[in-house]
């Protein structure tokens, strides 16, 4: 059963701190995912979930809507744009994370979504969380 808009907005509200309470990481490299998770917890994020595919990410969003998401653009055999589309509909802020730099092709509808370049600094990641740039 899909959550209602009110449930989504209530769950997406932050706990008064300047970082989101629940972050979804979509990353197919386990070493990078562990690094991101450790850093997010260090910034004060209370719940971090990591998935490595589009299908698992969409299931995780249905299971519990995150406050924020980090989306690796290039997953093993797919791109994360279907996840981004879902997050936009739910008004959940997110950033793309890519190791391919400017040559990564982002669809025009996501041109304004912030990007972090892998490897990203802790300062850049924390700034993305704290500003919660609109998706």
Distance CA 24, CA 47 (A): 8
CA 122 to the chain's CA centroid: 15
Q: Is the pLDDT of residue 5 over 60?
A: no
Q: What's the confidence (pLDDT) of residue 8? A: 38
Q: Is the pLDDT of residue 134 over 60?
A: no
Q: What's the confidence (pLDDT) of residue 101? A: 65
| Least confidently predicted of 64-68, 81-85, 127-131 | 127-131
Which domains, ranges and CATH numbers included, belong to the chain?
5-103+112-131 (3.40.50.2300)
Distance CA 26, CA 49 (A): 9
Residue 99 banded pLDDT, cuts 50, 70, 90: confident
**Residue in the block written with tokens 């979930």:** 49
- CB contact at 8 A, 28 and 56: no
- CB contact at 8 A, 67 and 91: no
Residue 113 banded pLDDT, cuts 50, 70, 90: very high
Distance CA 96, CA 114 (A): 6
Q: Which three-class secondary structure state does DSSP give residue 115?
A: strand
Question: Distances from the Cα of 40 to the Cαs of 9, 10, 58, in angstroms?
Answer: 22, 22, 21
Residues 47-72 pLDDT 10s: 999 999 999 999 999 999 999 999 99
Q: What is the pTM of this model?
A: 0.83
Q: Is the pLDDT of residue 29 over 90?
A: yes
């Amino acid at each position: 059963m899909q959550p209602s808009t009110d449930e989504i907005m209530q769950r997406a509200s932050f706990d008064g701190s300047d970082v989101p309470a629940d972050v979804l990481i979509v990353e197919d490299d386990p070493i990078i995912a562990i690094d991101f998770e450790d850093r997010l917890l260090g910034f004060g994020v209370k719940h971090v979930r990591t998935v490595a595919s589009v299908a698992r990410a969409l299931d995780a969003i249905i299971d519990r809507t995150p406050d924020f998401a980090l989306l690796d653009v290039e997953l093993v055999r797919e791109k994360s744009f279907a996840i981004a589309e879902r997050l936009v509909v739910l008004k959940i802020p997110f950033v793309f994370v890519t190791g391919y730099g400017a040559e990564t092709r982002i669809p025009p509808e996501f041109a304004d979504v912030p990007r972090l370049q892998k490897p990203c600094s802790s300062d850049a990641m924390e700034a993305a969380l704290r500003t919660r740039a609109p998706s």
